[in-house]
Amino acid sequence: MSEFDEASWEERYGSSERVWSGRPNLQLVTEVSGLAPGTALDVGSGEGADAIWLAARGWRVTAVDFSTIALKRAAAHAEAEGVAARIDWVHADVRVWTPPVTGFDLVSAQYMHLPPEPRRALFARLADSVAPGGTLLIVGHDITDLETGAHRPDMPEMFFTADEVARSLDGDRWEVATAEARPRPGHEHEGVHITVHDATVVAFRRPDGAP
């Protein structure tokens, strides 16, 4: 079973009533809480925690995932939270899907771990989808987590560093505010407390005509 196709994720979501915690991702909350709401793209939206958190704070969200089970579950959660009208759920494979160019004030990709070439192509498309003056937020498991005992696949090529992503952004069009391996608490399988790191990139797209 491939970890990167729709069938594998349908099986994973179908095997449990809830796969994720239901809480929004920490780095999203950290970086977006102070932003004025606008339009947002949530890439790989899963069961909808990030999209629902954004919608509850006034954002109009496009949430994309290729698991129909996850999208149905997320839509039900959004309905229960009273924010369904602020979220558009899109069934698509982000490895090939192209979002609208300059279509969003915020683009968030949380833990999108793909092989190097499709990952770089995806991140380039996501960068293109940020509106002038908007924010790009990319977060992943830092490669150093492979040495911590955290639950990570032994596939180094699937990981990326914040510097790698930051270097891919055109300096004439982007101001990189953050590119770091950001620590947060984690757990080993045996429940031992450890520190893991999120490769975190926050970049602002310069307004058209800005130097």
What integer pLDDT is reported at residue 150 of this predicted model? 64
What integer pLDDT is reported at residue 2 of this predicted model? 46
What integer pLDDT is reported at residue 128 of this predicted model? 97
Q: What domains appear along the chain, each with residue ranges and CATH number?
A: 6-205 (3.40.50.150)
Contacting residues for 113 by C-beta, under 8 A, at least 6 apart: 119, 140, 141, 158, 159, 160
What integer pLDDT is reported at residue 1 of this predicted model? 33
42 contacts 108 by C-beta, under 8 angstroms: yes
203 contacts 177 by C-beta, under 8 angstroms: yes
Whether this model's pTM surpasses 0.85: yes
Identify the three-state secondary structure at position 181: strand
135 contacts 201 by C-beta, under 8 angstroms: no
Question: Average pLDDT for residues 69-91, to the nearest whole number?
Answer: 96
H-only helix segments in the chain? 6-14, 26-32, 49-56, 68-81, 116-128, 162-167
CB atoms closer than 10 angstroms to residue 40: 28
- Percent of the chain past pLDDT 70, that is, above it, reads 81
Q: How far is CA 70 from the centre of its chain?
A: 15
Comparing 13-22, 84-93, 150-159, 194-203, which segment has the lowest mean pLDDT?
Answer: 13-22
pLDDT beyond 90 at 137: yes
Q: Average model confidence (pLDDT) for the chain? A: 88
Q: In what order do the strands lie in the sheet with 39-43?
A: 87-91, 60-65, 39-43, 104-110, 130-141, 193-205, 174-187
Angstrom distance (rounded) from CA 128 to CA 115: 20
Angstrom distance (rounded) from CA 69 to CA 18: 11
Q: What is the 3-state secondary structure (H, E, C) of 81-140?
A: HCCHHHEEEEECCCCCCCCCCCCEEEEEEECCCCCHHHHHHHHHHHHHCEEEEEEEEEEE
